[in-house]
Structure 1
Amino acid sequence: MDPSKMPAAPPPPGVTPNFIDPPGEEYEIYSISIALCSTATVVLLGRLYTRVFILRALGLDDWLCVLGQICAWIFAILSILNIKNGYGVHIWNLHVDQVIIFKQYDLAEEDVYALGVWFVKTAILVLYLRLSPEKRFRQMTYAIMIFVAFYSLLSILLFTIGCMPVKAMWDITLMDHAKCIDQLAFVYANAAFNIFSDLVTLILPIRLCWDLQASSKQKALLLLLFIMGSFACVVAIVRIVTMVPFLHSNDFTWYKVTIAKWCMVEINVGIICACLPTMRPLLIKSFPRLFSTIDTGSGFKGPSSDNSYPMKPYEKKRTRGWDHLTGFDTQCTTQYHQEPNELDSSQALVTTKQVEQEPPTLKLTDVAVTSMDNSHV
């Protein structure tokens, strides 16, 4: 039978199929996709402006955010292009050939979503590496990175080749004879992994933020920025809840829109949360009066006339200051126990050894020479 004439699924009792002009959710797909991606892109551009024109340094986390935003736009574009294949339309109003093409686009969206979330979460974790050189903290951060990479790659693999034969992943005419994993169950497992990684990522920096060499206002503001990241965790939970009514439904061309819109929220909100902590220099430059009270007591006095920065008193603390995290004062921020190949987008010009050894040696020599000259006279 010709797939272009074959109904994709039987309608519910009392419902008449509409193959000519079926109602859909085109407006919701367009509005959510464009609005979320545009908002996140504006925030990302603010981050890149800060890093390129104010700090004059781009790091690994910046590039990861860019890659995550590219994935978000690809996800949005695929969703919009898939409208012509029945995206947002009830499956009983579609023919088999439409659903086959729809599934191909949908699989590409799932892979791009998993890749985008991987990039964004890794960007946040790379940012964490500037919080502290403490060995245990860094080990936990790298462990979360590995965990996120593992389940993201696993998701991409199973979303792509979850059936034998693989063609059955998009050709619904082969489903009766194919062996496939439970796609919906794996989506639940993937969401659970996301929630777990979000919770650990949220809890990890709280103690270190409070130990930063900064004022109470700065600590509270920084904690607020990280707590905002919990919204991504809330979105992951909401995404699971929204899937519950569709556990035993085959109307995936319609309910996929509901799931996809929360995927869009998750990835774009993640990008915004990853960008906000690094935009402090831009906010200070744009709204100096508003943020001057927040910076009071931070010890940062800005560059002098010769573009040099005053050194802060040396303190034996393992936790770096607020300025090191945001990158505004990285040139004068000391580093402790720097590890090779550290994923750090800032480059400090003065290290702990230099602070401890070189300046005292030079000063002592000068004093000794002066003393000898005076005695000679």
Structure 2
Amino acid sequence: MASNVTVGNATINGYNPANDTNVATFLSVVVVAWSCAFIAACLRFYTRAILVRSFGKDDVFMVMAVLFGIGGFVCWIICCKNGYGRRQRYVPRDELSIVLEAQFYESVLEASFAFGFLKISIALSLLRLNRGGRWYKRILWTLIGFTCFYTLFAFITFLTFCRPISGQWERTPGTKCYNKELYRDFGLFNAACNITTDVMFATLPVPLIWSLQLQRRTRIYLIAILSGGYFAVALGVAKAVFIIAFVHERDGTFRPWAPFFGALQLDMGIIAACAPTLRPLLGSLLKLSDHGNYKDANYYRAGKALDRIPKSGSEKRGYLRQNTASGVFVEGLTSPDPEKWAALNREKTSFTATVHNGGSVKDDASGEKPSIDEDAITHIPPDPDFKGIVKTTEFKVEK
């Protein structure tokens, strides 16, 4: 029987361990996952900035998460080019040094800041729902503060592992590093924090979304998309398992499972966070619109309109009238007379509404001239798709 024993770098029976490589598998999976995440993010930015024009703070933080994710992805490519997927004892020392340096920057850019900005973006997006009451807001702001804490903690642990920092990829005389067990424990703490916030962000909005006055199909779609966060939780658990094995791993370049699952966790998190914002873009395709003649109801833009309504008196109630064709909210219809409001809703012609401190409404049909500046006048154009139904959003303004 032929021997299968390998001595040094010798080839026996046509097998050479120096030629073992997993790089194609790791690289293809990460490239596909990151491409999906990047496309989802770009579609989100287009939908928010161009389609519905409600680009907010949560989108700004998502941009930052994507930018840092790009940096981590570049580091991953460098690692694959110089040693990932190959047995460590056959990786030249200079290439191994490049791998370790790229791995360090990947940890800083991706495992700390990209995850941190992603979680803050998700929290700010959930704050847009604004239907959970005071406790809901307090929980989200607490999660934002907690995310900031463990993100900075992770960043500090990466910086202080070795002194000088370059000792992490090139050991020189005088280099001091704390032991691998402590480094593993810090990594486990960071992974546990990411898993905890993933579970919270995937679970917290479910009862609120189910209570929204939307089609059941739409609510199921949003809940299913947010449940994608549980896939990120599963990937985070897998990452934690391999962080535990980090201390005893002797072939980290051949099986870089911890950074591999970490990269996939970030990609899945971006996809899960961006998918709900694509409803205005995909609504007609997936039949998610609330009515065939209505575009997606932009509740965020309605909230922006409320911010510009003059606040006088202790309290006001009224409506934001939405054009059925354009989906644009009309600002400033406060406390109208019920009969007059009903008449305005039945009209198929354009009219102009104004708001002033008294909270009354004046229109073209009355023949009265506006008593305030023209900047406060909102003109409602004729709606070619008007069929006797006007979508309104009730609001309440408190002093």
Same fold judged by TM-score > 0.5?
yes
The one-letter amino acid of 1:270's match is G
Shift in Å at residue 270 of structure 1? 1.0
Using the aligned pairs only, state the percent identity. Answer: 23
The whole-number CA distance in structure 2 between the counterparts of 1:332 and 1:214 is: 18
Q: Which moved more, 1:275-284 or 1:209-218?
A: 209-218
Q: CA deviation at 1:158?
A: 0.9
Counterpart in the other structure of 2:239? 239
Match of 1:109, SS?
helix
| Bigger shift: residues 354-363 or 100-109 | 354-363
Larger radius of gyration: 2
How many angstroms apart in 1 are the aligned matches of 2:146 and 2:179? Answer: 25
Q: Which residue of 1 aligns with 2:383?
A: none
2: CA distance, partners of 1:203 / 1:245: 30
Partner residue in 2 for 1:208: 208
SS of residue matched to 1:33: helix
Q: 1:350 to 1:234 in 2, by over 3 A?
A: farther
Distance change >3 Å, CA 66–CA 365, structure 1 → 2: closer
- The residue that corresponds to 1:109 in the other structure is 106
Q: Could you say which residue in structure 1 is the equivalent of 2:127?
A: 129
Once the two structures are TM-superposed, the CA of residue 21 in structure 1 deviates from its matched residue by 5.2
Native 8 Å contact 2:184 2:246 kept in 1: no
For 1:72, give the aligned amino acid. G
With 106-115 and 170-179 compared, the bigger mean Cα shift is at 170-179
Q: How does 1:205-354 map to 2 (within 5 A)?
A: 205-256=205-256, 258-285=257-284, 287=285, 290-291=286-287, 294-295=288-289, 298=290, 302=294, 323-324=297-298, 330-331=301-302, 350=331
Displacement of 1:164 in angstroms is 3.6
Q: Determine the structure 1 residue equivalent to 2:360.
A: 362
Residues 1:173 and 1:99: Cα distance change in structure 2 (over 3 Å): farther
1:192-203 matched pairs, under 5 angstroms: 192-203=192-203
Q: Mark the CA change 1:63 to 1:17 in structure 2 (over 3 Å): closer, same or farther.
A: farther
Q: CA deviation at 1:277?
A: 0.9
Find the counterpart in structure 2 of residue 118 from structure 1: 116
TM alignment of 1:27-46, pairs within 5 A: 27-46=24-43
Q: Using the TM superposition, give the Cα deviation of residue 229 of structure 1 relative to its aligned residue in structure 2, in angstroms.
A: 1.8
Q: What is the distance in 2 between the residues matched to 1:175 and 1:192?
A: 33
Residue-by-residue CA offset, 1:72-124 (whole Å, 9 max, x unaligned): 22222212222343222222223444333321111001111121111211111
1:166 offset after TM fit, Å?
A: 3.4
Q: What letter is aligned with 1:93? A: Y
**CA distance in 1 between partners of 2:74 and 2:124 (Å):** 28
Give the superposition deviation at 1:332: 7.7
Q: Aligned partner of 1:34: which letter? A: V
- 1-side partners of 2:361 and 2:177: how far apart? 78
Residue 273 of structure 1: how far off its partner (Å): 0.9
Aligned CA distance change for structure 1 residues 20 and 43 (closer, same or farther; 3 Å): same
Is residue 8 of structure 2 the alignment partner of residue 16 of structure 1? yes
- Tell me, what secondary structure is at the counterpart of 2:223? helix
SS of aligned partner of 1:278? helix
Point out which structure has higher relative CO (alpha carbons under 8 A, 6+ apart): 1
SS in 2 for 1:279: helix
1:71 positional shift: 2.4
TM-score (norm 1): 0.72
**1:132 match: secondary structure:** coil
The equivalent of 2:95 in structure 1 is 98
Change (3 A) 1:23 1:222: same
8 Å contact from structure 1 (residues 69, 116) kept in 2? yes
Count matched residues: 318
Deviation at 1:58, TM superposition (A): 1.7
Q: Map Cα deviations across residues 288-312 of structure 1 (whole Å, 9 max, x no partner).
A: xx41xx43xx479537xxxxxxxxx
- State how 1:68-79 maps to structure 2 within 5 Å: 68-79=65-76
Alpha-carbon distance in structure 2 between the residues aligned to 1:165 and 1:238: 31
The answer on whether the counterparts of 1:131 and 1:324 sit within 8 Å (CA) in structure 2 is: no
Tell me the equivalent position of 1:89: 86
After TM superposition, the score normalised by the length of structure 2 is: 0.68
User: 1:46-65 residue pairs with structure 2 within 5 A?
Assistant: 46-65=43-62
Q: 5+ residue gaps in structure 2? A: 11-15, 310-327, 337-354, 369-399
Contact map agreement 1:195 1:237 (CA 8 A) in 2 = yes
